[in-house]
Amino acid sequence: MLNRFNARAAKMMLAVTTVVTATLGGSSAAWAAEDTATPASSSPIKNVIILIPDGMANDATALARWYKGSSLTLDSMASGMVRTHSADAPIADSAPAGTAFATGYKSHTGYVGVLPDKATMPGQKAIAPGDAKKPIASVLEASKLAGKATGIVATSEIMHATPADFSAHYPDRKNYDALSKQQVYNGLDVVLGGGSRYLEPAGRKDGENLVSSIKALGYDYVTTPAAMKASNSGKLWGMFAPAGMAYDMDRDPAKQPSLAEMTSKAIDVLSKDEDGFFLMVEGSKVDWAAHANDPIGIISDVLAFDDAVKVAMDFAKADGETAVVAVTDHGNGGLTIGNNATTGTYDKEPLSTFIGPLKKAKLTGEGVEAKLNAKRTNIKAVMKQYYGISDLTSEEIATIKAAEPGSLNYAIGPMISKRAGIGWTTGGHTGGDVVLYTYAPNNDRPFGVIDNTDVAKYMARVLNLDLDSVSKQLFVPAKQAFTAKGATYKLDLTDVKNPKILVTKGSTKLELQIYKNIALVNGKKTALEGVIVYNGVDAFVPQGAVDLIQ
């Protein structure tokens, strides 16, 4: 008993030292080296589940807790705070914020899984010559090379910034063609979420049919909750919406699974791998609701996210070899419980002032749109039935009527916020620290204030992965490597459907298909250990591709 007490006391002292160091200006990197110093060989952890409630500000969990009327699963897991800035801005975009979680490196706005081209924030090292926009390995990719099963789950399109950060590489989050093709060919075992439109020829600039490719690669491709549940395949790809999935409050359970159900299924499939697994789960639309200043959407999907966290935690506690991390990539909206109208009465307002109006809502603003008729002449009736609002002003009615399709939550969110005393400072992201929630069976988890890059470093350490080594293995500068072998090198981008690298040496002709893991050696197909990446300037290939030229 005494030894156990001493060990716990030492851990507490280490956490205190960390906080003091950070307060006095010590770097978060130094913190990570100290606080995560448990030898990897002594860790029993072989699985990691990271859950990301995109854009979830601190007040969002408080609001969801009051609305629910009881504690959240997240509450028992809080262990620290995370700094969210990117390489060149104090307020991060989701792409570089997710890249930090996935790779351990900060990046630039819009950049997915690649290094930035500039690093101007205090404490950031300058980008080495030739490293700008260079792809870097994610914890997911390193886990895959270590023999682990891997998966991504999201309520957005799966090629959206955060899920793409873990499974693809390109310095433009809007290039869905490049990102989705890499995801298809990057060897994941489970992919569940939205975005089927961007896998089909009509939704792609290159016109490629990636649904056919997914099926040809051996995935069980499912589009309904029932089919997802019934699948017995070890390779599962589920698409449940053309783009983003519905908010949980608006969801038709016969057409779309919940985030918790997708998380559960992903764990069921991945946990069959004896080598362990890595799973990323994103509650994507917390962020979308915050952009719209829509408190109902936030409550809907924070609670849905917390249900998914419970699924992960129940598995982890029963399994005994799984670490769970839950952390948002940045705040959004500047949500506050209390607004200008409560300035003089904030400490006298009962809970019902804030929660009462919210409880009357039966759908999010997005869900209400489907209840309006074509000419939107039934606005008063719909708002009374689904929001309990019977005092709409003429200006509010006009705002709802004029709202563009797909953006009604931007009109209705501020209306319910005003009635519920909910404040907002912006329609964009915010730069404050966010809460870190963690669980590990041996309590080897981060404490204190850490950097977003330390999240990746923690996950890599407990899984005994070397991310830098994997980056060197997966992303070799192609032109440099092949010309060094005396081969001729050509980057051929003329065919948008099949951009490729052509390498010739003697009688050997090598074709490498960009954004895929396919190599053709004198016409014979070979699967590589990773995808070919083109970042708009240079191409990068796995070392295995280089080794095909002798």
Bridge partners, residue 322, by sequence:
47
Coil, helix or strand at residue 429: strand
Coil, helix or strand at residue 228: helix
Length of the chain: 550
* List 79, 94, 180, 417, catalytic entry: 94
313 residue type, one letter: M
Q: Which residues contact 500 (CB under 8 A, 6 or more apart)?
A: 492, 511, 512, 513, 514
Helices 467-474 and 452-462, packing angle to 10 deg = 90
Distances 163 to 98, 158, 291, 541, 547 between C-alpha atoms, Å: 8, 6, 19, 22, 30
Closest CA to 446 of 327, 526, 303: 327
Phi and psi angles of residue 8, each rounded to the nearest 5 degrees, phi first: -65, -40
Active site residue 94: yes
Structure tokens at 62: 């408080």
Coil, helix or strand at residue 136: coil
Q: Are strands 508-513 and 533-534 parallel, antiparallel or unpaired?
A: unpaired
Classify each residue of 331-348 as buried b or exposed e, where b means 16 or more C-beta atoms within 10 Å of its C-beta: bbbbbbbbbeebeeeeee
CA–CA separation, 236 and 229 (whole Å): 11
Distances 17 to 3, 437, 447 between C-alpha atoms, Å: 21, 20, 11
CA–CA separation, 224 and 68 (whole Å): 28
Of all helices (H) and strands (E), which one includes residue 534?
strand 533-534
CA–CA separation, 144 and 102 (whole Å): 13
| Helix and strand numbers, DSSP H then E, in the chain | 21, 22
Sign for the pseudo-dihedral over CA of 271, 272, 276, 278: negative
Bridge partners, residue 524, by sequence:
521
Structure tokens at 198: 């961007």
Instruction: List the catalytic residues.
Output: 94
